Structure formats: C-alpha cells, structure tokens
Amino acid sequence: MKTTNDDKTAPNREEGAAEAPIDVRHVVCNLTPTILGHLDIAKSKGSGEVIFLIRQGIQLEMRSAFSSVGVWEVEIATQIGHDVLRFTRRPPKKDLPDLNLLDY
C-alpha cells in the first residue's frame, strides 16, 4: 500500500501519486455516503486511487454497496486491526459506438 506525506507542499509529492489512506474506522452510521463524498472529491481532483481504512468484518456490506460504482474498480484487503478498501479509477471506454436512432 502506497502512502505519502499529508503536507500538500511537500517536495516529494508526485502528480498522480496516491493520497494517504482515509481512516473511516470510527464511522458507524452513513459510511457509504461518507465514502461517496470522498470519491467525488477525488474525482474532481483527478485522483486515480483512493484508499480507505475501514472496520474489520464489514467486507460483505462494502461489496454490496460498491460492487457497481461505475468509474471506480473496488478492491478489499484484510490487514491486522482493519480492512483496506481501495478504489482505482477505470480508464474511460472510447470504443463504444454512439447509439443514434437515425442510423437504424
């Protein structure tokens, strides 16, 4: 798992580098809206990866809530004391033709 310095002015912060993990282990209610809010912020910043530290034992709920998030690919891993929820931005698909009723 990649982590970087939280200081936005740090000279070693690379463009597109992963942000520090967001610790939401303390969140009991409204976890899904909290994560979606962070994903919206990351999308507006152009971040390619967002990592959350979540409580152990809620992997099933997280898979159910985020199995079809669209532009994000979800990965869940177990670690000692917490689980890691990693969202990686999918590249946009350009190979699909436009559906135009006039063509049919």
Q: How many helices (H) and strands (E) does the chain have?
A: 2, 4
pTM given for the model: 0.68
The model's confidence at residue 104, banded by pLDDT at 50, 70 and 90, is: low
CATH class of 22-91: alpha beta
- Read off φ and ψ for residue 92, nearest 5 degrees: -65, 145
The model's confidence at residue 25, banded by pLDDT at 50, 70 and 90, is: very high
Distance CA 96, CA 61 (A): 32
- 31-62 pLDDT, tens digit each: 999 999 999 998 888 888 999 999 998 988 98
Residues 59 and 83 sit within 8 Å (Cβ to Cβ): yes
- From 3, 27, 31, select the one nearest 17 (Cα to Cα): 3
